[in-house]
């Protein structure tokens, strides 16, 4: 059964959102300031890592690590000076 889970964080003045669609082949989409900047699929409940950039001058590389399961999906944003990362809060739409 497929379900969509949404996550969000404001980081360095930019909006970073992730959607995790669970199921047999989970799909992860990442948006930065409302524009899709990353897309990936994975198998079963394997974590997926997406490398995206914040539109700064120069661009700031960040990583979104999504874990589709088991259980409730989770997303973490890792910045260049944040090796432990920031938990992206779930959003209800």
Question: What pLDDT sits at residue 82?
Answer: 82
Please give the pLDDT value at position 8.
97
- 6-15, 31-40, 41-50: segment of lowest average pLDDT: 41-50
Q: pLDDT value at position 86?
A: 96
pLDDT tier at 24 (50, 70, 90 boundaries)?
Answer: confident
The whole-number pLDDT of residue 74 equals 95
Q: 73: which DSSP letter?
A: -
Q: Which of 16-21's residues contact partners 24+ apart within 8 Å by CB, and which partners?
A: 16/52, 16/54, 16/62, 16/64, 16/77, 16/88, 17/91, 18/64, 18/66, 18/75, 18/88, 20/66, 20/68, 20/73, 20/75
How many Å apart are CA 30 and CA 7, to the nearest integer?
9
Q: Supply the pLDDT for residue 93.
A: 65
User: What domains are there in the chain, each with its CATH number?
Assistant: 3-91 (2.40.128)
> What's residue 23's pLDDT?
83
Question: Does residue 76 surpass a pLDDT of 90?
Answer: yes
């Amino acid at each position: 059964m497929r379900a969509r889970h949404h996550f969000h964080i404001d980081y360095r003045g930019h909006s970073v959102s992730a959607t995790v669609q669970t199921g047999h082949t989970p799909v992860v989409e990442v948006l930065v300031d409302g524009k899709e900047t990353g897309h990936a699929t994975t198998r079963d409940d394997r974590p997926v890592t997406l490398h995206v950039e914040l539109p700064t001058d120069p661009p700031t590389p960040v990583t979104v690590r999504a874990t589709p399961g088991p259980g409730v999906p989770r997303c973490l944003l890792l910045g260049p000076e944040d090796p432990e990362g920031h938990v992206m809060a779930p959003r209800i739409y």
